Structure 1
Amino acid sequence: MQKPVFTQSIPGTSLSFDMISIEGGSFRMGSEDPEALDREKPAHPVTVPSFYMAKYPVTQALWKAVMGNNPSWFQGDQRPVERVSWDNAQVFIKKLNERTGESYRLPTEAEWEYAARGGIYGKGFKYAGSNKLKEVGWYSKNSHGETKPVGLKFPNELGLYDMSGNVWEWCEDVWHDTYKGAPKDGSAWLKGGDQHIRVVRGGSWDVNSGNCRVADRNWSVLDYRFFNIGFRLARS
């Protein structure tokens, strides 16, 4: 089923990007599977309000149009931007919002996992859109040691691409070692934890398949810049 899409143009350029409308709903966040790590537990119910999420990670072309530079290690307009810190992503979003008059932001961790799982259309896949990672994502066994242009693999049930693999994606949330005490309303978990560490999701071109599972979660220091971390836009 085709999901509603909002296309955002960038004033002063020929560029635009698509935001997928994601109907809210309830899901079980985290995992209790045998391969689940402690950081994915306890699995718990979360209700996420409707929101929009970008069809692709932010590309280098989009980053350059807004910021006027390209920090990426693996250069290519249609590759995801990387070597951007959480702080860098926030600066980009502020400039994008000033330019468009919109209110883009990073997704919350709950929004990210809900979307990766396919929202109300989710079929219970291990990865975002399939039980076979090679169909939907770039990781250590098929990436040849680099990022790839976005959108080359199959999308998930919501029409989102590259949610498993290619680059890790920053979320708004502060990192907590487990889900004990996590919000159940889909909001960002900003209290407690280590305020200098933020959540990244989805896995990347240089990790194994386990890190690309929709339930897997990881972290990075908010001012670190790595060639395997990018981000994706969300909007309420």
Structure 2
Amino acid sequence: MRKKKVEFPKCETCPKRSSSVFCDLSEEEVANMSANKGCNFYKRGQNLFYEGSRAIGVHCIYEGKVKLTKLGIDGKEQIVKIASDGEVLGYNSLLSQMPYNVSAEALDDAVVCFVPVSIFSELIDGNKDFPRRMMQLMAKDTQDMEKRLTNWMQKSVRERLAEVLLLLHNRYPDKEKPQVIDVRLSREEIANLVGTATESAIRYLSELNTDKIIELKGKEIIILNKEKLVYIANLGD
């Protein structure tokens, strides 16, 4: 399926830039990046890039949600991260001059800008603050991954599921219905995030639904008792 071209968002007026790694760029650098970037519209299920392909730039999410996945040794897809507005994808592969170590797929309709390696390299070499921002981003991503691995080793499936639901709700609350998680995931994708079999995820979701801690409406998940989820997730005081 071909990607649909959309009107390019301008970096100069992008509301996401002030809270991104590009916040310290000069007006000239912003204008140069805006003039040389690309932008595409991706429908749900379309890939931005594939694991193992050559990294030729970074992808900046202007709007929408994207899941990053990696194939395990058994050939099964493992969700590494869900990214959204303002996040930069593929930078670690570009910096290490290695192929993409994950695949990126749109979870819903998304508008994503693409900054080619030539422009990205100019920012690394010419802006003293930009490398520091990139290092901070790398450190945060590493810390998030370490925390997730620790949870997998030390927490039960039920605890991990409760924590995943809380994280999704805190990060993606529906603006009109605050109790609703504003990201639609299949049961398999939820199991993938939790690190368990799909059957186990379905069973524990059903238990939480029966206990009226959450409410399930197809792929829509409504948080009914957040305090109870915090207790189940064993997040402490």
TM-based fold match above 0.5: no
Q: Structure with the greater relative contact order (CA < 8 A, sep ≥ 6): 1 or 2?
A: 1
User: Which protein has the bigger helix share?
Assistant: 2
Query: What TM-score bracket applies, with the shorter chain setting the length?
Result: under 0.3
Larger radius of gyration: 2
Normalised by the length of structure 2, the TM-score is 0.24
